[in-house]
Amino acid sequence: MRYSYKFSDAIHLLAYLVVHEGGDCSSKAIAASIEVNPSVVRKLMADLHHANIIDTQTGKARPSLARPANEITLFAVFCAIQMDHELLHVDPATNPQEKVGQRIQPVLSHYYAQIQDAATAEMRRITIDDIVQQINHK
């Protein structure tokens, strides 16, 4: 199974902007913190800029949050990045001739929707400020 780290990397990027405000916030510096290629950071920044989460200026390495960190929820970040936004996926290839294969998809879909709703509610509660406070907590 392949995992996407875009959500984690986007949160990392935003926390970096808060913690290093006024410092080196170039895509190269942020990429060094995340340990990815700077092009990955630039793509994330484009998504976050498009969602009005960060402000950027072409040709200047001075990205900043577009609003206070306590107003940026993880859900807003999750929605901003271009990726599949379903947390869990039901296998579409099951045997319709067998009892479990016949019923597993709608049953799992029901429970997965409940899990998605709970995760969404929690992401709406947690902010970038919460993340930064934990990073700064010693």
Task: Indicate the domain borders of the chain.
Answer: 6-136
Residue with tokens 């949160």: 11
pLDDT tier at 3, thresholds 50, 70, 90: low
Single out the residue of 25, 136, 128 nearest to residue 78, CA to CA. 128
Residue 58 confidence (pLDDT): 78
Is pLDDT above 80 for 10? Answer: yes
Is pLDDT above 90 for 60? Answer: no
The topology under which CATH files domain 6-136 is Arc Repressor Mutant, subunit A (1.10.10)
pLDDT tier at 59, thresholds 50, 70, 90: confident
Query: CA 78 from chain center: how many Å?
Result: 4
Is pLDDT above 90 for 78? Answer: yes
pTM: 0.88
Concatenate the DSSP letters of all residues of 14-69 into one string.
HHHHHHTTTS---HHHHHHHHTS-HHHHHHHHHHHHHTTSEEEETTEEEEEESS-G
